Amino acid sequence: MLPVDIPPSPALRLRGVSKAFGSLTILDKLDLDVAPGERISIIGRSGSGKTTLLRVLMTLEKIDAGSIEVFGRYLGQRPEGGRLVPATPEETRAVRGDIGMVFQQFNLFPHRTAIENVIEAPIHVKKMGSKEARDMGMALLCTVGLADKADHYPRQLSGGQQQRVAIARALAMQPRIILFDEVTSALDPERVDEVLSVIQGLAQESTITMLIVTHEMRFARDVATRTIFMEEGLIVEDDAPAVIFGKPNKARTQSFLQSVLGRGL
Amino acid sequence: MNFDLTYLLQIAPLLLKGAVVTVQATVLGTLLAAVLGLLMAILTRSRLRIVRYATTAVVLFVRNTPLLIQLFFLFYILPQFGIALPTYLTGVIALGIHYAAYMSEVYRAGITAVPRGQWEAAHALNMPRALVWRRIILPQALPPIIPPLGNYAIAMFKDTPVLATIGILEMLGVALAEANRSYRYYEPLTMVGILFLIFSLFSAVAVRLLEKRYAAR
């Protein structure tokens, strides 16, 4: 029997995470626990702190206070004797390796082909052999339905295709947690579904932990195992998607959903 | 005073030898400036504030003092501190440092033009900073700035006559030496001017071609 007093370390454990830009508070003493394999959709108005939450997890922003643990290891800084001690760049890189991110603006490397974008980091960061990396990269491009575009440059691809390459690129580093930051917001409406279905497929076929910031409410409901509604840097409501989208408990969640959904999903 | 073509032909080999020194100094100076300039540009984006400030100060200082004074400083004053370099090397270093400061601004413009998202994507792929510079940022930053860098190389070429002041026998130095010997200034100096014009025009055409080639990107 397993000893019951050692719980498996959560994928993410945030305690009192705060972030302000000047006098503007973006994250307000946030607490959050994410179990491995959870898929969390994060909804809320612009400026509610959703994107900043992801950027903080990716260490693209430094937090002002609090602590973040990724699978039991402190990210960026750790509390010690009531103060925050910054981690060395090497320590941060070691922990950050568990996390991958897909951006609103794709951010593919324009001077590299699709396959080169995917295998760049595996080869040069993980020191994977180029043959091995290429095979893995092709398999990933296959997964996102773009095997035939492997040798195309980003400028030769549509927005939806670029975003799918970006997803393959993030997956190539085999993160245990993947962050999706409004990944369809920059796409033409007819290109949205191809990207969402790739993420849906990923959700069904892997146990990777996902944090998904999105304005696509139907997607937020269908893909997630849990939904968080944020407002003014706070988590207002955190529950099963069926609850949040069906019968939210907080008035603020209700009013948000009413304003974005109108008559329904 | 008449322009003596026979005399000109007589001194032409000498001047061409000087031209070789001029071109050499320009090529070496440009290489040094290109490397140092890039280094300065990268250091001005260091995470350490002290490094950023120190580099910015050096760039500011070099850009706002005359090349001639920098050259004299290296040539006359550095030896007093026990650093005595060969004359030719001193000249190349002066040219290199002076133009590095200008080129660093060009590099900076090229680097700033790379979207922030490129840094962030590389960061999200856990790439260490040196790798981000080498494989992601510089390959995008450099091609568009090759023409302006080339223009600075041409500017440096036209500045090489300052090397004559510390006794380097580049084109002007040779011409002056010859003029002092023969008391004829007309032909040697005209010839030097024409040679500069020819080299500069050819280089300008080369830079134009580079511009065309990289403009399409």
pLDDT by residue (tens digit) across B164-202?
999 888 888 888 888 888 888 888 898 899 999 999 999
Residues A242-258: tens digit of each pLDDT: 999 999 999 999 999 99
Query: What local confidence, expressed as pLDDT, does residue B212 receive?
Result: 84
Q: What residues in chain B have their Cβ under 8 A from chain A's Cβ atoms? A: 115, 117-118, 120-121, 123-128, 131, 135-136, 139-140
Rounded Cα–Cα distance for residues B100 and B85 (Å): 20
Judge whether residue A84 has pLDDT over 90: no
- The DSSP letter of residue A259 is H
The beta strand positions in A23-148, using DSSP E, are: 24-34, 39-44, 65-70, 73-74, 77-80, 83-86, 99-102
Query: What local confidence, expressed as pLDDT, does residue A83 receive?
Result: 80
Q: What is the pTM of this model?
A: 0.88
Q: Which of B118, B125, B140 lies at the smallest CB-CB distance from A121?
A: B125
Query: What local confidence, expressed as pLDDT, does residue B215 receive?
Result: 64
Q: Distance (Å) from the C-alpha of residue A95 to the closest C-alpha of chain B?
A: 10
Chain A CB contacts of B125 under 8 Å are: 100, 120-121, 125, 169-170, 173
| CATH superfamily assigned to domain B19-171 | MetI-like (1.10.3720.10)
Is the sign of the CA dihedral A249, A252, A253, A256 positive or negative?
positive
ipTM of predicted complex: 0.92
Judge whether residue A3 has pLDDT over 70: no
Residues A114-135: tens digit of each pLDDT: 999 999 999 999 999 999 999 9
The beta strand positions in chain A, using DSSP E, are: 12-21, 24-34, 39-44, 65-70, 73-74, 77-80, 83-86, 99-102, 177-181, 209-213, 226-231, 234-239
| Interchain CB contact of A58 with B (< 8 Å) | yes
| Structural domain boundaries in chain B | 19-171
| Structural domain boundaries in chain A | 107-170
Q: Distance (Å) from the C-alpha of residue B139 to the closest C-alpha of chain A?
A: 7
- Return the structure tokens found at A94: 């070691």
Residues A105-115: tens digit of each pLDDT: 999 999 999 99
Minimal-distance CA residue of chain A relative to B142: A111
Would you call A60 and B120 a contact, using CB atoms and an 8 Å cutoff? yes
Residue A6's pLDDT band, with cuts at 50, 70 and 90, is: low
Judge whether residue A180 has pLDDT over 90: yes
